[in-house]
Structure 1
Amino acid sequence: MTKIRLKYVNEYIDRTGKLRRYFRKGGKQLGPLTGEPGSEEFMSAYAAYLAKKSPAVVRNMNKDSLAKLIVDYYGSRYFTDLKPSSRQLYKYALEPLSKAHGHRCAITMTAEHAETIINRIGAERPGMGNLTRAVLRRVFQFAIKAKRRKDNPMLGIDPFKVGEHHTWTDAELRQYEAKWRLGTRQRLAYALLLYTGQRVGDVADMTRADVADGAIHVVQEKTGARVWIEIHPELHKAMKACPAKGLSLIGDAAGRPLKRPALSALIREARKAAELPSRCVAHGLRKAAMRRLAEAGATANQIAAVSGHKTLKEVERYTKAADQRKMAKQAMDKL
C-alpha cells in the first residue's frame, strides 16, 4: 500500500510505542492529526490547519455548507497538487468568500445565487470577481467529483470586462529614475523588473546563485520555462551600486528574501513617492520591457525568448503599446 506523504506532517513514536502525528508549520506545532492519513477525519483536520482554522471549527460546520466544502477542497489533491503560488492565489479568493458566505448551503446553491455572489464582488473589484468565479468553478467541480453535487452552478456566469495592466511610458520610467537614483533598493527592484522582463514573483525568487557568465538563469514558476537573461549594462550598474546583502538579488532592508506581494508593494510605495499615477504597477514594467524590445526591432520570437511566453499571440498582447510611428519608420528604412 502506498504511503501518503503530506507537507507539514510531523510523526513520531511516543514513549508508550504509539504513533502520533502533528501538523507543524513555520517552526510551530499547531495541533494533533488523528485518524489514518487519507481518512476523512485526518484530511479534515489537515485541511483546517492549512486554512489556518481550528479543527474544532471544522467539526462544528454544517457538512453541506460552503465553508466545509472549501475546507475539504483544501485537503484534496485538486488543491494540494497546485503550485505553491497557485494555492496562495486560490486561498486569496476563497478565504474572504468563506468568511462572508461560508454559512450558505453549497449543495443546494443555484446558479442564480452563485451569480449574485460573484456580481457583488465584481461590482467593485472586477478582477477579483473573475478570480473568484474561476476558483469557485474548480471548487464545485471537486464537489461533483466527490458526488456532493450533480451540476456546477458557476458554469454560464460571464466574466467581467477588465482593463489590461498599463505599460509604463518612457516618460514614467524617467520620472521614476529621477526620484530613485542608483544605490537605492527601489532602483534595484525597478531595474531587475525592467531589464529582465520577468514576472514579479520570478524576480523576487532570483538569487546570486542564478547569476553566471553575465546572465541570470530563471525557471519561471507559472510556465516552467527556463530562460537565460543577459544582464543589461543598466541592470549591472544597479546591481553594483546596491549589492545584495543576502542570497536574494532583491531582498528586504536586512537582505532577507522577498515574496511577490512584498516586491509589488515596494514598487507601489516607490511609485507614490515618485508622484507617478496608480496605473504604474510592478507588472507594467514587464510590459514596458516587451514594448521597448519591440521598438528596438526585436522579433516576436526574440521577445518570447526573453519573456518566456509560449505563444506569439501573448507576445503581441504585451507589445501593443510599442511606438507605432517608430516601428513604422524602422520598417520603411528596411526598404
Structure 2
Amino acid sequence: MTIFMPRKLPLHVVKETTRHGKIVFYFRIGKGDRVRLPGIPGSKEFKKAYQAALIGQKIEHVEATTIVRSLRWLVQQYMESAEWAGLSVATRKQRGLFYKQVVDASGNVDCRAVTKADVQKALERRKTTPSLANNFKKALSALFNWGVDNSHVSANPTVGVKRLKPLSTDGFPIWTIEEIEKFISHWPLGTRERLAFELIVASGLRRSDAVRAGRQHMTADVLKISTKKTNTQVTIEFSPRILDLIEQTQTGDLAFIVGKKGLPMTKESFGNWFRDTCRAAGVHKSAHGLRKFSATLAAEAGATSHQLMAQFGWVTVKQAEIYTKGADRALLGKASSRLVEEQIRTKVSPHLVSGAGSKTKTFVKSNG
C-alpha cells in the first residue's frame, strides 16, 4: 500500500533518513532543541506532536484529546493556517511563547467564553512590563481576529481593551561624545570592531540589517537595503572615508561585518560581540544606543522627519520623533533665538526707532 506523503513539510520540520534507512521527522526552530516527531505528516499523532512543539510543550505531556473550541484547539487551528505561515519567524516565535502561556494557564477552557475582563486581567498581571504586555494583547488580538474570520468565535474579546502606558524611560541610552572618543581611540582603523562602529554611525542600521549589509546592496557609493523589521527600503550614501575603511578591513563576500572566520553573524551574536567590543574600550553602551546617536546627529544638523524616516527605516513620523527626542535642545534653541533676532532687526526695529522715548531708542541701539 502506498502511503501518501505531502510534498511540502510543515514549518520547522525536516526529514532525515537513519543509518537503517528509516525516514524520521524532526522539529526545530532556529538553533533550538531538535524534537523527534512520531508518525508521518498528516497522521493524528504527528499533528498532535507538531502542535505541541510549536507552543514549546513537551510531547510526552500532550493530552490524548484536544477539546474542540477550547483555547488549546483554537491556537492549534491558527498555527496551521496560511495567515500564521505568512508571519515572520520572529513574530511566530514571540507569539508562540505567548500562546504557550495561554494554553498552560487555560488549556481546554472554551475559547468562546473568554471575555474582555479576562484579557484586562491578563494585562494587569503583566503591568510591570507594559511593552511585553501590549505585545501579548496584540498576539491575542490576532488569534481571535482569525477566529472570528473563520467562524470559530463570534467576537474578539481584546476589542476595547486599552494598551498599557509604557514606563517612563528613554530606552537604550545614547552614546556621548566622550564615549565615542574612547571607542575610536581603543579600536584603530582597519579593525573589524572599528568598521562595525563606523558603519552603524554612518548608516544608523539596526543590528538585524547591519549584519546583512554587503556589497550586493551597493551601487557606486549608495547602499539600499530593505529592513528586516519593517520591510522598508532605506537608502544611505557612504562617504569616501567609509568606502576606504571598508576596503582596508576584513569583510565577507555578502556582509561587511563578519566574525573572526569571515562568516556573517546573526543579530544576536553581533549584539553580544559588539557589547564585548564596547566594554573592552571602557564604554558601557549598545549598538542601538549608537543608532540613536546617529539619528540625533542627523536631527541636530536639521534633517526633517521624512529624511530621518528614509534613512532609519521608520514608517511613521512619531517613530522618528521618539528616536530623535535626545537631540540637543539647547543647540536648537539657540538657532531659534537667532531667527527671532533676525525678525526683530527686519520687522520690529524700524517701528521701535520711529517711536518716542529714550528707553526705546536705547533698546534699539544696544540690540541693533
1:49-64 → structure 2 map (5 Å cutoff)? 50-51=54-55, 57-58=61-62, 60=64, 62-63=66-67
Q: C-alpha deviations, 1:166-223, integer Å up to 9, x for none?
A: 3333333334434444444443333332211122212222233223312222112333
Match of 1:253 in 2: 260
Match of 2:20 in 1: none
Deviates more, 1:45-54 or 1:20-29: 20-29
Q: C-alpha deviations, 1:276-304, integer Å up to 9, x for none?
A: 45xx4332322221110121233333323
Determine whether 1:287 maps to 2:292. Answer: yes
- Match of 2:154, as an amino acid? K
Aligned residues: 319
The alpha-carbon distance between structure 1 residues 169 and 136, as it changes in their structure 2 partners (threshold 3 A), is: farther
Contact in 2 for aligned 1:8/1:24 (Cα 8 Å):
yes
Aligned match for 1:168, one of 172, 175, 189: 175
Q: Shift in Å at residue 144 of structure 1?
A: 3.2
Match of 2:122 in 1: 117
The alpha-carbon distance between structure 1 residues 9 and 275, as it changes in their structure 2 partners (threshold 3 A), is: closer
- Match of 1:150, as an amino acid? S
Determine whether 1:201 maps to 2:208. Answer: yes
Deviates more, 1:256-265 or 1:287-296: 256-265
Match of 1:299 in 2: 304
Q: Shift in Å at residue 253 of structure 1?
A: 3.0
Determine whether 1:323 maps to 2:328. Answer: yes
The alpha-carbon distance between structure 1 residues 136 and 298, as it changes in their structure 2 partners (threshold 3 A), is: same
SS in 2 for 1:301: helix
- C-alpha separation in 1, matches of 2:263 and 2:313: 27
Contact in 1 for aligned 2:55/2:97 (Cα 8 Å):
no
SS in 1 for 2:225: strand
- Match of 1:86, as an amino acid? T
Match of 2:91 in 1: 86
Deviates more, 1:225-234 or 1:132-141: 225-234
- Match of 1:325, as an amino acid? A
- C-alpha separation in 2, matches of 1:227 and 1:82: 22
Determine whether 1:177 maps to 2:184. Answer: yes
1:7-26 → structure 2 map (5 Å cutoff)? 7=11
Q: C-alpha deviations, 1:229-287, integer Å up to 9, x for none?
A: 1124564465345321453222333233322233333333444444545xx43323222
Q: Shift in Å at residue 135 of structure 1?
A: 1.3
Q: Shift in Å at residue 9 of structure 1?
A: 6.6
Match of 1:314 in 2: 319
- Match of 1:221, as an amino acid? K
Contact in 1 for aligned 2:211/2:257 (Cα 8 Å):
yes
- C-alpha separation in 2, matches of 1:91 and 1:222: 18
SS in 2 for 1:151: coil
- C-alpha separation in 2, matches of 1:178 and 1:110: 58
Contact in 2 for aligned 1:297/1:330 (Cα 8 Å):
no
Contact in 2 for aligned 1:51/1:74 (Cα 8 Å):
no
The alpha-carbon distance between structure 1 residues 105 and 22, as it changes in their structure 2 partners (threshold 3 A), is: same
Contact in 1 for aligned 2:35/2:53 (Cα 8 Å):
no
**Share of identical aligned residues, percent?**
25
Q: C-alpha deviations, 1:300-335, integer Å up to 9, x for none?
A: 333233123344343233222111222344456675
Q: Shift in Å at residue 99 of structure 1?
A: 7.3
Contact in 2 for aligned 1:118/1:129 (Cα 8 Å):
yes
- Match of 2:148, as an amino acid? I
- C-alpha separation in 2, matches of 1:99 and 1:262: 31
Larger Rg: 2
The alpha-carbon distance between structure 1 residues 132 and 178, as it changes in their structure 2 partners (threshold 3 A), is: farther
SS in 2 for 1:122: coil
- Match of 1:252, as an amino acid? G
SS in 1 for 2:109: coil
Q: What TM-score results when the alignment is normalised by the length of structure 2?
A: 0.69
Q: Shift in Å at residue 129 of structure 1?
A: 1.9
- Match of 2:238, as an amino acid? I
- Match of 1:172, as an amino acid? E
Structure 2: where are the runs of 5+ without partners?
Answer: 1-5, 16-22, 343-368
- Match of 1:217, as an amino acid? K
Match of 1:131 in 2: 135
SS in 2 for 1:105: coil
Q: What TM-score results when the alignment is normalised by the length of structure 1?
A: 0.75
